[in-house]
Amino acid sequence: MQWNWQQADWPSFRYSPSLLQDVEASFLKGAGVVIGALHHVDQEARQGLTLDLISQETIESSAIEGEILDRASVQSSLARHLGLTAEKRRVGNAEAGAAELMADLFQRYAMPLNDELLFNWHAMLMNGRRDIVDVGRYRTHEDAMQIVSGPLHAPRVHFEAPPSSEVAGEMKAFIAWFNDSAPDGRKPLGPVLRAGIAHLWFESIHPFEDGNGRIGRAIAEKALAQALNAPTLTALAKTIHRHRKDYYAALHRGSRDLGIDDWLNWFGAIVLEAQERTLLEVRFLIGKTRLFDSIQGQINERQEKAILRIFAEGPDGFTGGLSARNYQTITGAAPATATRDLTKLVELGALYRTGEHRHARYHLKFLAEVI
């Protein structure tokens, strides 16, 4: 028997009960830190951060599957669904559908899982797709549902899911388990454990013709959010994307056996890394607000433009730091003016410098303290 669902005791996953004990405690503690940090941000900034984080997750989850979405279009569509003001623009079908799914997850995370919710998510995700037969319903095709790579004449099968005829029954069992294992269910599980099992189980069934990865990650986010009784805003998809090769390898190993300690260890580490990333984003926003408050009225338009451009790069900043040449490109300043402007920003405590002369690079000072 090659796959987990072919084994006699499927879907009785085996794992060590105490395996994620420390991870669960760290996740709940980290969630409290994120919520506490958000109290230092005003409502407008908090809404902006929420929009940025959900947009980021929408884009990254699609990127894991090799689909590149337009960031501005995703943000515009998300803002509309979340009731926030944003620039009106034409939005492509892929961006609109992916954004609608993530907005629905954010707003209705507490709802129990059921076929209707999953069908709606799939219809959103497949928005405008004419190459998919089964939209908004489980797959019905008779061909084997396989994940393959390589040339057509010699494909490599990475996974084969249960036949379409078995999907409805498999999903009935999965949905019942998911709701029973919720915090208010009959057999509640820890948030990270529940999210990890849910993601692997859903991917093992692979119930839809397409979009299983993105919906599976949304289900994992839903499990985490339900445990906190609040949208998690965890950068899960972004973190998985950074470890994309390992992610697929871990899923592949997990799909071959019902002993899933390996998968849960990997997934738990990813959840904590994602949460740390979210906290960094929150602290980054707080630092941005405080920095502009401290230098207000002391910088010129060129300096403000350059600082805003650095912030646009996010917590990772410019690779290697901002150079004087970068500053000139951003602001149109002459070399001598650029040097004076940058020196002033260092004196004000906005930036710090590394290197000398043409090797000098400038970095956000507060970010060094945050990281």
For residue range 207-248, list pLDDT tens digits in order: 999 999 999 999 999 999 999 998 877 899 999 999 999 999
Residues labelled as active-site residues: 206
Are 63 and 53 a contacting pair, CB within 8 Å?
Answer: no
Measured in whole angstroms, the distance separating CA 87 from the mean position of its chain's CA atoms is 23
pLDDT at 186: 97
What are the extents of the domains in the chain?
4-283, 299-370
CATH label, 4-283, candidates 1.25.40.10, 1.10.3290.10, 3.40.50.12280, 3.40.220.10: 1.10.3290.10
Confidence of residue 369 (pLDDT cuts 50, 70, 90): low
Residue 178: is its pLDDT beyond 60? yes
Confidence of residue 86 (pLDDT cuts 50, 70, 90): low
- In the chain, the percentage of residues whose pLDDT exceeds 70 is 98
Confidence of residue 287 (pLDDT cuts 50, 70, 90): confident
Are 263 and 253 a contacting pair, CB within 8 Å?
Answer: yes
pLDDT at 15: 97
* Range 344-367 average pLDDT: 91
Burial (CB count <10 Å: 0-12, 13-18, 19+), residue 13 = buried
Q: Give the DSSP letter of residue 5.
A: G
pLDDT in tens, 28-41: 999 999 888 887 77
* Range 244-267 average pLDDT: 96
Residue 371: is its pLDDT beyond 60? no
Residue 333: is its pLDDT beyond 80? yes
Residue 321: is its pLDDT beyond 80? yes
Looking at the structure, give the CATH architecture of the domain made up of residues 299-370.
Orthogonal Bundle (1.10)
Residue 336: is its pLDDT beyond 70? yes
Q: Which residues pair with 352 in a beta bridge?
A: 363
Residue 89: is its pLDDT beyond 80? no
Q: Whole-angstrom Cα distance, residue 333 to residue 61?
A: 39
Alpha helices in the chain (DSSP H): 21-38, 43-64, 71-82, 93-107, 115-125, 164-180, 191-205, 212-228, 236-242, 244-254, 261-295, 301-312, 324-331, 335-347, 365-370
Confidence of residue 112 (pLDDT cuts 50, 70, 90): very high
pTM: 0.89
Structure-token pair, residue 163: 């036949």
Confidence of residue 368 (pLDDT cuts 50, 70, 90): low
pLDDT at 370: 57
